[in-house]
Amino acid sequence: MNKLNEYAVIGKKTTKTDAVAKVTGGARFATDIYLPNMLWAKVLRSPVPHARILRIDTEKAKKLDGVKAVLTAADVPEARYGALVLDMGMFARGKVRYIGEAVAAVAAVNEEIALAALKLIEVAYEPLPAVFDPLEAIKPGAPILHEDLKSYKTLFERTDKAMTGNVNYQAEITSGDLEAGFAQSDYIFEDSYEVPKQHPSYMEPNSTVALVDSDGRLVIHNTTQRPHINQAILSSLLGIPIAKIRVVPCHVGGGFGGKNRTLTEPTAAALALKTRQPVRLTFSHEEEFTSATTRHSGVMVMKTGVKKDGTLVASDVKLYYDCGAYAPTPNAVWLGAISSSGAYRIPHCRVEAYSIYTNKMMGGAFRGYGAPQSNFARESQMDRIARELKIDPIELRLKNCLVEGDSLHTGQKLHSVKVKETLLKARELSGWGKGRVPANRTLGVACGIFACGGFATSGIVRLNMDGTATVATGAMDMGQGLRTVMGQIAAEELGMAAEDVTVIIGDTDSTPFDVGIFGDRGTHTAGMAVQMAAQDARKQLVEQAAFAFKTTPNNIVLGGGKARLASDPDKVLDYKDLLGGGQYKKGGPIIGKASINLTETAFDPAIVRGAASRMFSTYTFATHIVEIEVDPKTGVVRVPKTYAVHDCGTVVNPDGLRGQIIGGLATGLGYALYEGVAFENGQVQNPSFLECRPPTAVDMPEIVFDTVEEFDEKGPFGAKGVGNVSVINMAPAIANAVETATGVRVTSLPITPGKIVQGLGQLAKEEA
């Protein structure tokens, strides 16, 4: 059902509301705030991966001229936080667990003095045995990172294996009869895949300016995807009521999940409370690579049973995700488990998913959120199955892909499933199997599924006297264009022009609660709350118009900023006239509101144990086909062309959609070929863009982009998200194309020239 032609604003080119500010240098980011009397904060970080802290002496640092405060764990409440596992405090307490962990913080009158003061803090460490590999960390006798793990508070239903040893979060999915499934299979494929940590590489570093205002309230200016959760965490860490804390985020210079965190806020806040001066804490570029959060590294073991004709029958998956020394978001493992069966119907499934502590920097949320790992395994193995069974890779996928009304291995029944259509369209666009590709190029395909939307959010729509509207959402715009899209949704519902709607985001004083923007929930879920709030306002506006026209509400038609009589379309009132006088005559100004949670249904405990969420609102799908060139001498892979077809529901903002998808492909390309945080005994070896480089403009392929539009019943005007699913296919598609081109199957990321040359050497040896 496509209603696109009926819409006035949805699906139409709409200029990004913050674009002018951003092209003129006027947009203010947290790093752009310089206040009078502002102090600069710096953090002393652990130089060792695992050690007991015997003593911290801050006396010399405190005596340095210009130092206003020095804090350690001894100076702040003993409180911990985390999304599912409350395991991390503001500073290391008693122990350090990774190189880069915060041990102490200084606030001084300038950056140089703050840095000099760090050198004057003396810490005595007693080294402890450390563990860096997740599979080593779950062996008996491995060094234990969190001795009191069982006593930590958790926000999920613990399985037997959760919160024991070095395993924190754990989930299991079982559907069908696995043994019977393998017994029915003609072939069984068992493979292991490995992926490194990938840094989100948002351009703007983590940064907070904290101050105590003249009313004694704590005010936070920061860069975040979740102001309301920041507020709640600050409240619990500092012991201050939520109402005494105001979080006012600035423009966000990229987030991608990496800013769905609370990293700089608590330290800056504690220093501001201590000194009663504004305090700024900005991560250095190196701190970003040692002390922020990355995509989880991990090992995926995948055993799949198949019939001769290619029908998938059984799947046994084990996901071992390395969350580092703390688990701020082990939910990534849960989403990895959901995406691990791919976009396929597999009747007999088991997934065991583990989030495992190691003495490394933290794994967190990053675009794709657990799925790039498991989909790399699933889609690499699908091509291996196709090759062994001599079935065309796209035919194999078409044979097994999910269709409308199918259920996922979690038992969740799916709607708006268009993966088959994305496969067919991508095949057609790329000329797959038609011999159109130049002789030196090879095609590779991958498709994928990602959970979209859910969790709590709310919206408020106020109609103003001049006929304009003000929308407030707690959801954040991290640059993807949420503010513009929320305005489009409200404008469509209210019958106004997009430019007559102003959207307020982020400020916890003026916006209602949202849990944070992640997991394709911006347009879909926050947008739904804004649409419902606009519907509430619209209903009141209709009643007001009926009152003004002395008629019944069903005789009122709204549109183009005017109310009309259905029975006499020449009778017209501008919203301006209706609202300007009307709100005084009949019951005050119009305020529409909605509070919703699109994850309402729990998973069946007979199928899912240790679920980190209730059932997601919907799912998004995409197929990507890459055209690659491999230099057989050097092993260098180039990707000159990529075909991307997305099942995105209704398109709300065409420019924004295209930009977000191409950006996602770029991150997927980096994951496939270039990026990967490298460690040596827990020490990051490549902590900068020079050494761990995201793709540049000349690395990017020409993108042929298309959509399969489908009205999703749960989203506003039928919209779904695209931010995550755009990332998850590039790595397996490129790995698949590399095998077709060279015969080398690379099972670990990134796919470096070295791995290909080594593989070619191995093949030559086997032939000889």
Partner 1 sequence: MTETLSVPAKMPVRLRVNGQNRDLLIEPSASLLQVLREDLALTGTKEVCLLGSCGACTVLIDGKPALSCLVLAMACRGKAITTIEGLMEGGDLHPLQQAFIDKGAVQCGYCTPGMVMVGKALLDEKPNPTAEEARQAIAGNLCRCTGYQQIVEAIVAAPEIARTGSAKRPAGLMDSGPYLMPETGE
For partner 1, give the closer residue by CB, 1 or 690. Answer: 690
Question: Does the footprint of partner 1 cover residue 8 (CB under 8 A)?
Answer: no
Shortest CB 205 distance to partner 1, Å: 7
Q: Residue 507: what residue type?
A: D
Residues in the chain: 768
Q: What is the DSSP annotation of 615-651? A: --SEEEEEEEEEEEEE-TTT--EEEEEEEEEEE-BS-
CA distance 150 to 692: 36
Shortest CB 267 distance to partner 1, Å: 20
Shortest CB 26 distance to partner 1, Å: 4
Query: 419 is written with which tokens?
Result: 């993966």
Question: Does the footprint of partner 1 cover residue 34 (CB under 8 A)?
Answer: yes
Query: 465 is written with which tokens?
Result: 């006297």
For partner 1, give the closer residue by CB, 251 or 714. Answer: 251
CA-based nearest residue to 747, from 370, 339, 373, 188: 373
Question: Does the footprint of partner 1 cover residue 697 (CB under 8 A)?
Answer: yes
Using the rule CB under 8 A, give the single segment among 95-103, 156-164, 530-538, 690-698 that binds partner 1: 690-698
Interface positions, 470-529, toward partner 1 (CB under 8 A): 478-481
Strand runs (DSSP E) across 567-614, as ranges? 568-574, 591-597, 608-609
Query: From the list 4, 8, 66, 399, which residue makes contact with partner 1 (rule: CB under 8 A)?
Result: 66
Residue 552 CB contacts under 8 Å (≥ 6 apart), including other chains = 546
Shortest CB 36 distance to partner 1, Å: 13
For partner 1, give the closer residue by CB, 195 or 666. Answer: 666
Cis ω on the peptide bond leading into residue 49 (within 30° of 0)?
A: no
Question: Does the footprint of partner 1 cover residue 75 (CB under 8 A)?
Answer: no
Using the rule CB under 8 A, give the single segment among 142-150, 224-232, 291-299, 694-702 that binds partner 1: 694-702
Query: From the list 9, 10, 11, 29, which residue makes contact with partner 1 (rule: CB under 8 A)?
Result: 29
Query: From the list 87, 101, 172, 204, which residue makes contact with partner 1 (rule: CB under 8 A)?
Result: 204
Question: Does the footprint of partner 1 cover residue 32 (CB under 8 A)?
Answer: yes
The CA R_g of the chain, rounded to the nearest whole Å, is 27
Query: From the list 139, 276, 285, 436, which residue makes contact with partner 1 (rule: CB under 8 A)?
Result: 285
For partner 1, give the closer residue by CB, 566 or 584. Answer: 584
Question: Does the footprint of partner 1 cover residue 315 (CB under 8 A)?
Answer: no
Using the rule CB under 8 A, give the single segment among 122-130, 579-587, 692-700, 754-762 that binds partner 1: 692-700
Per-residue contact track with partner 1, 158 to 197, x per CB under 8 A? ----------------------------------------
Question: Does the footprint of partner 1 cover residue 640 (CB under 8 A)?
Answer: no
Partnered with residue 702 across adjacent β-strands are 641
Per-residue contact track with partner 1, 239 to 278, x per CB under 8 A? ------------xxxxxx----------------------
CA distance 646 to 463: 36
Per-residue contact track with partner 1, 101 to 140, x per CB under 8 A? -----------xx--x------------------------
Query: From the list 4, 8, 64, 429, which residue makes contact with partner 1 (rule: CB under 8 A)?
Result: 64
- Cα 422 versus chain centre, distance: 23
Shortest CB 93 distance to partner 1, Å: 28
CA distance 266 to 281: 10
CA distance 210 to 279: 5
Question: Does the footprint of partner 1 cover residue 580 (CB under 8 A)?
Answer: no
Query: From the list 16, 146, 360, 609, which residue makes contact with partner 1 (rule: CB under 8 A)?
Result: 16
Partnered with residue 52 across adjacent β-strands are 95, 126
CA distances from 447 to 372, 442, 681 (A): 11, 17, 36
Query: 317 is written with which tokens?
Result: 């998956």
For partner 1, give the closer residue by CB, 31 or 618. Answer: 31
Question: Does the footprint of partner 1 cover residue 706 (CB under 8 A)?
Answer: no
Strand runs (DSSP E) across 83-231, as ranges? 95-96, 102-108, 122-127, 167-175, 187-195, 207-212, 218-222
CA-based nearest residue to 652, from 716, 704, 594: 716
Question: Does the footprint of partner 1 cover residue 24 (CB under 8 A)?
Answer: yes
Question: Does the footprint of partner 1 cover residue 19 (CB under 8 A)?
Answer: yes
For partner 1, give the closer residue by CB, 24 or 214. Answer: 24
Residue 288 CB contacts under 8 Å (≥ 6 apart), including other chains = 199, 205, 206, 687
For partner 1, give the closer residue by CB, 120 or 299. Answer: 120
Interface positions, 359-398, toward partner 1 (CB under 8 A): none
CA-based nearest residue to 563, from 496, 501, 468, 497: 496
Using the rule CB under 8 A, give the single segment among 137-145, 507-515, 605-613, 693-701 that binds partner 1: 693-701
DSSP state of 34: -
Residue 403 CB contacts under 8 Å (≥ 6 apart), including other chains = 345, 417, 420
How many chain residues touch partner 1 (CB under 8 A)? 65
For partner 1, give the closer residue by CB, 202 or 334. Answer: 202
Question: Does the footprint of partner 1 cover residue 36 (CB under 8 A)?
Answer: no
CA distances from 747 to 116, 675, 686 (A): 46, 15, 22
CA distance 576 to 463: 10
CA distance 324 to 303: 26
CA distance 168 to 321: 11
Question: Does the footprint of partner 1 cover residue 31 (CB under 8 A)?
Answer: yes
- Taking the alpha carbons of 103, 229, 651, 711 in that order, is the dihedral positive or negative? positive
For partner 1, give the closer residue by CB, 616 or 674. Answer: 674
Query: 71 is written with which tokens?
Result: 């804090």
Shortest CB 17 distance to partner 1, Å: 6
CA distance 193 to 376: 8
Per-residue contact track with partner 1, 653 to 682, x per CB under 8 A? --xx-xxx-xxxxxx---------------
Query: 330 is written with which tokens?
Result: 């082990």
Q: Which residues make up the interface to partner 1 (CB under 8 A)?
A: 15-29, 31-32, 34, 60, 63-66, 112-113, 116, 200-205, 251-256, 285, 466, 478-481, 655-656, 658-660, 662-667, 688-690, 693-694, 696-698, 700, 703
